[in-house]
Amino acid sequence: MKPRRDERHTHGYYMRVTDNSAGDLLGYLSEISLGGFKLESPKALTVKKDYTLRLEYTSEVKDKSYIVLVARVMWIKPDPITPNEYIYGFQVVSILPFEQEIYQGIVKNYGPLKHKWD
């Protein structure tokens, strides 16, 4: 397995991720980096398949409440805490320039928590 290129950030707020075409809830974002993200989901998704996704976020990022992007499932593993759920690793394949700026803001705003002793 290749080492991770981008720093990943975990956050306490789970953002909803839906299928952009059908509107079905796929799961919740649990980690994010500039190149991709982790999704916690009970759904069965296909590895190496591209999905057009809608990532919903709070209005504190921008006035718009979601972005649309194409992302590819790179790997899957069972959720160690929740039975019948999976953790998927997605790689961002394409995103519009305006929404890329918002995506970068999400990565920045929901980055790792800084401890008082850091």
**Model-level pTM?**
0.81
CATH number for the domain including 44? 2.40.10.220
Q: How many domains does the chain have?
A: 1
Give the whole-number percent of the chain exceeding pLDDT 70: 78
pLDDT in tens, 4-34: 444 444 444 578 999 999 999 999 998 888 8
Task: Provide the domain limits for residue 80.
Answer: 13-109
With contact defined as beta carbons under 8 Å apart, do 18 and 25 qualify? yes
Distance, CA of 79 to CA of 86 (rounded, Å): 5
Residue 8 lies in a domain: no
What does the alpha-carbon distance between residue 17 and residue 75 come to, in Å, rounded to a whole number?
Answer: 17
Classify residue 32: in a domain, yes or no: yes
Give the model's pLDDT for residue 76.
97
Predicted pLDDT at 24: 95
Alpha-carbon gap, residue 33 to 79, rounded angstroms: 20
